[in-house]
Amino acid sequence: MSDYALVAGQLFNGVSVASILLLAALGLALSFGLMRVINMAHGEMLMIGGYLSFVTYRLAPARLGFGLALVAAFVGAAAFGAVLELLLIRRLYGRPLDTLLATWGVSLALQQGARSIFGAIGVEVTAPKWLTGSFTVTEGVMAGFNLPYVRLFIIALAISVLGVVWLFVQRTRLGLYVRATHQDREMAQALGVNTSLVDLVIFALGTGVAGLAGSVLAFIAPVTPTVGQSYIVYAFLVVILGGLGSLLGTLLAAAIVGLFSAGAQIFTSVSFADVLLLMFVIAFIQFRPSGIFATRGRALEEV
């Protein structure tokens, strides 16, 4: 394998990691931006999505399993998010520290719950046949360059999800309410926008997308009770880097984080690439404390 193929391979890996991060961070960016809620249990929504697709694969007939698993992961995680919002987060608005602690507690409870139900060691989801192969360049300077279909699929899914969420926010009535609430919650309320419904929908949408991320993640890694923990930190990095509540910012930040760590891994080890990434993010927010796209909204100024 040539150096060209190594660099090209890492470029592709960067995009692939970025697409997973995008799915994981999208919900956080939305709810963080709109509600100022730091949901520490967001990573566990990935885990719930992963386990839901594992269960669906077990129960559903083979042909339908794949599609059903994605649906089950999205709907299940969204439903869980809605319940979480109604029972807990709604009651703690304006108390960021309390929300942080409460959702952390939820996260611990969910992890231990998964450990009790599914065991400490990960469960396996096998990708359908048409996703297991890969496309490999065998000749020329790019010989050895390899594109696994699973990763191509995840990239495609991330782009479509981003597109759908963007259309939802920009082109629908409810999306208009979301933008209105984001800009000025009180004024939106005064004009008859049901802001608590908006919060509920956005929170559930965010957790649903995280569930989707967990479902596709299961194709490349085992689903474990702590799977969310290994992504939540990066998801927060993406949100901080991208700017709160900005879809475009989240996309760019996910790309930067993914490509930066993939690039760093060409020259150094995985562990040290993480160190470099953290240093980069710290340096970056020195210059742009509110991320790539600073959102100007009343919701943010109040706090």
Contact positions vs other proteins (CB under 8 A): 1, 3, 5-6, 9-10, 13, 16-17, 119-122, 124, 132-134, 136, 144, 146, 148-151, 217, 219-222, 224, 226-227, 230, 262, 265-266, 269-271, 273-274
Distance CA 273, CA 173 (A): 43
What tokens were used for 3?
């150096």
Structure tokens at 51: 């386990």
CB-wise, 151 or 185, nearer to other proteins? 151
Q: Name the DSSP class of 138.
A: -
Residue closer to other proteins, measured from CB, 81 or 148: 148
Q: Shortest Cβ distance from residue 251 to other proteins (Å)?
A: 20
φ, ψ at 135 (rounded to 5°): -100, 120
CB crowding 128-147: b at 16 or more within 10 Å, else e: eeebeeeeeeeeeebeebbb
User: Measured between alpha carbons, how far is 92 from 199 in angstroms, rounded to an integer?
Assistant: 13
Decide: residue 87, CB within 10 A, 0-12 exposed, 13-18 middle, 19+ buried.
Answer: exposed
Closer to other proteins by Cβ: residue 147 or 292: 147
Query: By C-beta, is 5 or 255 nearer to other proteins?
Result: 5
Q: How far is the CB of 152 from other proteins (least distance, A)?
A: 11
Query: Are the CB atoms for 225 and 112 separated by under 8 Å?
Result: yes
Closer of 216 and 247 to other proteins (Cβ): 216
Please give the structure tokens belonging to residue 202. Answer: 């956005």
Element housing 49 (H / E): helix 42-59
- Cα separation, 51 vs 282, in Å, equals 34
User: What's phi and psi for 51, nearest 5 deg?
Assistant: -70, -35
Nearer to other proteins, 86 or 220 (CB): 220
| Nearest of 298, 260, 217 to residue 46 by alpha carbon | 217
What minimum distance in Å lies between the beta carbon of 120 and other proteins?
5
Name the minimum Å distance from CB 224 to other proteins: 5
The distance of closest approach from Cβ of residue 272 to other proteins in the complex, given in angstroms and rounded to an integer, is 9
Nearer to other proteins, 6 or 59 (CB): 6
- Least distance to other proteins, CB of residue 162, Å: 21
For residue 126, the minimal CB distance to other proteins (Å) is: 8
